[in-house]
Structure 1
């Protein structure tokens, strides 16, 4: 069984072991693969392992031996799943591996917005406290989260874990999904009401054809001028020009995002120069614990497929 790993460095920069997958076949591991080289590198592959390297319809057509694409992530929009199914290629993903890590990162973004720990620490390091006439100061307005309202768009495993953390902080939690859930963790609101009522809106929904850039000028203008927007889901959920304008004009107080519409971003992305935004480089999922789970589940996905009982198949 010939197994090609297209972008192994993303999952394993050297602190994990590929041994479990190497036991399943002949493995060729590329740290990175340009999209233009996917067909050539995977031409003989029966199994391809990818994180963010795309497999388009045209690429798949050039891979007659391919039987399985194992995506080492939950999101699988990098693969044309319909074309894969038509060609008899199974596509499997890794659900729920990063629930705790991503929820934790969501609050890391929120706490930086509410408490300015990074900015204040940088000020102290630059000599600001030594030169201060007062015993204490803050470079940013400080917000107490207790009593505030967090609105979650999406209420899967990460949304629910975020709700649990929010409640531990004493926050009221609202949620929106296309279908209401049976839950005691949060109260349901329609989308517009959630944006109006929340002090913090956090996105935890998958990217679909009907929700691209749904966070637009109209929704942002419904938010409180003191509110924050968080996104640890997918960058394409937000109209970035509209968000940048909202931040620069003080329509909302701030934003924290771990994802952008194009990654790595182009230098002209308006969010890179917007006011009151924290941007992390799509690393909410990257804890070692989460990556170990990805490796284990990917190995299990391949074993299950080879046994004729595919699991976590998305097409």
Structure 2
């Protein structure tokens, strides 16, 4: 088996990739551009990709291709229809981030609700010395107990976030997607969640139905209330209209935002988030909510396991199969 890993650099160098137990030739590339994909996978039996896009043209030109092992949960970078028509098995990684993403979500929430960045910046600027007393009160500090946590997305990550929120004494709401009214009595209508939540956090996939789920109209609705919620996105860039978010933050319709993902990654020079990177009410981390040491090792182990299972004729975590 010829195995080609197109973007090894997307997995921490400290992570151990176990030896594949079947006869193979492994070729590792730290990065692969769109122009390099076709030539690099042309003779591969198994292709490993985290974020490198594999188009119909790339897949059609890889005559020996039998499996794509996705080193992530999301498969929007793979042309699944082309794989299905070619009989190429695609397997992804599942449930490896059950601790790390919820913890990162709440790290952002705690930092914003307690103005940690603003206070840290003020201390560094000498404000504590200037105050002349043991503390100062320049920025708001809000407890989470009693606050309302609105969660969009009720998969394993959304429910893990809910569990933490409940343990902290928060009231938890799960929302139906915008325009959905058939989700049952346990779901709060989307517009009502926007109005009632002190913190809104997204844990849903990016699909045509969820793109710009929160945009200018939603921020206008939020701004009509008194809660001025936090907006947190550790799911996918594109779920929130990023220009509209910046405008909402600047106008005071929301009290803060914590994002781990953007539509264009890495962040580009012209991205609207650059306008608020210096605002302590805005925290942007570089798509690392998933990346605790423990989670990455779990991902790597599952990645190897997916390939072994395929070679042994019992494919697992299959997104599309023969």
TM-score by length of 1: 0.93
Partner of 2:238: 236
1:261-309 Cα shifts (integer Å, max 9, x gaps): 0101211111221353211110001111000110111111111111221
Which one of 300, 304, 322 corresponds to residue 299 of structure 1?
304
> 2: distance between equivalents of 1:237 and 1:45?
34
> 1: distance between equivalents of 2:153 and 2:107?
19
Give 1:160 shift. Answer: 0.6
1:136-191 Cα shifts (integer Å, max 9, x gaps): 02453111111000000001111011001111111000002456489xxxx52011
Partner of 1:256: 258
SS of the aligned residue for 2:81 comes to helix
Q: Does the CA-based 8 Å contact 1:56-1:80 persist in structure 2? A: yes
SS of the aligned residue for 1:235 comes to coil
> 2: distance between equivalents of 1:148 and 1:200?
8
Q: 1:139 to 1:280 in 2, by over 3 A?
A: farther
> 2: distance between equivalents of 1:22 and 1:52?
25
> 2: distance between equivalents of 1:177 and 1:59?
37
Q: 1:22 to 1:262 in 2, by over 3 A?
A: farther
Q: Does the CA-based 8 Å contact 2:18-2:304 persist in structure 1? A: no
Q: How does 1:65-84 map to 2 (within 5 A)?
A: 65-84=64-83
Q: How does 1:125-164 map to 2 (within 5 A)?
A: 125-164=124-163
TM-score by length of 2: 0.91
Q: Where does structure 2 lack aligned partners over 5 or more consecutive residues?
A: none
Q: Does the CA-based 8 Å contact 1:155-1:177 persist in structure 2? A: no
Give 1:118 shift. Answer: 3.1
Q: Does the CA-based 8 Å contact 1:148-1:172 persist in structure 2? A: yes
SS of the aligned residue for 2:150 comes to strand
Q: How does 1:278-297 map to 2 (within 5 A)?
A: 278-297=283-302
> 1: distance between equivalents of 2:125 and 2:145?
31
Q: After the TM superposition, which segments of 4 or more aligned residues of structure 1 sit over 6 Å from their partners? A: none
Q: Where does structure 1 lack aligned partners over 5 or more consecutive residues?
A: none
Partner of 2:109: 110
Give 1:122 shift. Answer: 3.5
Task: State the Cα RMSD in Å.
Answer: 1.7
Partner of 1:211: 210
SS of the aligned residue for 1:267 comes to coil
Q: For CA contacts below 8 A with separation 6 or more, give which structure has more relative contact order.
A: 2
Partner of 1:3: 3
Partner of 1:195: 194
1:188-235 Cα shifts (integer Å, max 9, x gaps): 201111111111110000111222112111122222452111000001
> 2: distance between equivalents of 1:232 and 1:109?
10
> 1: distance between equivalents of 2:302 and 2:114?
37
Q: 1:24 to 1:139 in 2, by over 3 A?
A: farther
270-279 or 24-33, which deviates more: 270-279
> 1: distance between equivalents of 2:102 and 2:79?
28
> 2: distance between equivalents of 1:242 and 1:17?
41
SS of the aligned residue for 1:141 comes to coil
266-275 or 57-66, which deviates more: 266-275
92-101 or 115-124, which deviates more: 115-124
Q: Does the CA-based 8 Å contact 2:234-2:259 persist in structure 1? A: yes
Q: How many matched pairs? A: 310
Give 1:107 shift. Answer: 0.5
